[in-house]
Amino acid sequence: MAGARLGGDDEGMTEINILPLVDIILVVLIIFMVTTSYIVSPSIKVNLPDAATGDATAPSSLAISVLEDGSLLLDGAPVTEAGLREAVRTAKAGSKEVICLIAGDMNARHGAVTHVIDVVKQEGVAKFAINIDPIPGSPAP
């Protein structure tokens, strides 16, 4: 026991232990990921002010439905592909911004819905949405 020292090594700590820091950062990241789903709401409600000199800028919208047999409906009325193209052109002539809401039957062929999206994009519509029915009780995105 002649060579034993009570104070330990004379050398100082030469490495930084970053494991506690990594643990804290991971916990903060998990908390952030969980809480952001509650912070973001599906829509933001804004009460816009009224103005006497404003012009209406409402975009034109078309509701297109693809039925199970592949037939098309435009705003609830049967239409052919040529009629759909003409309706999109007419809507584009009347309004700069046209939005198409495309609803495909659950049993419709994927190719038929994709073809309608392609037709709409060929006619110059950049904004379109796929209509769905949310499952009751499912969390909002």
Q: Where are the domains of the chain?
A: 68-130
pLDDT, position 82: 92
pLDDT, position 57: 47
pLDDT tens across the length of the chain (141 residues): 555 555 555 677 778 888 888 999 999 998 888 877 666 555 445 455 555 555 554 556 888 888 888 888 888 888 999 999 998 888 888 877 888 888 888 888 888 888 998 998 998 888 888 777 666 665 655
pLDDT, position 25: 92
* Cα 66 from Cα 73, distance rounded (Å): 7
Domain 68-130 matching CATH 3.30.420: the answer reads: yes
Helix axes 81-94, 110-122, angle to 10 degrees: 40
Query: Which residues have a Cβ under 8 Å from the Cβ of 102 and sit 6 or more positions away?
Result: 64, 65, 66, 113, 116, 117, 120, 128, 129, 130, 131
């820091």: which residue's tokens? 21
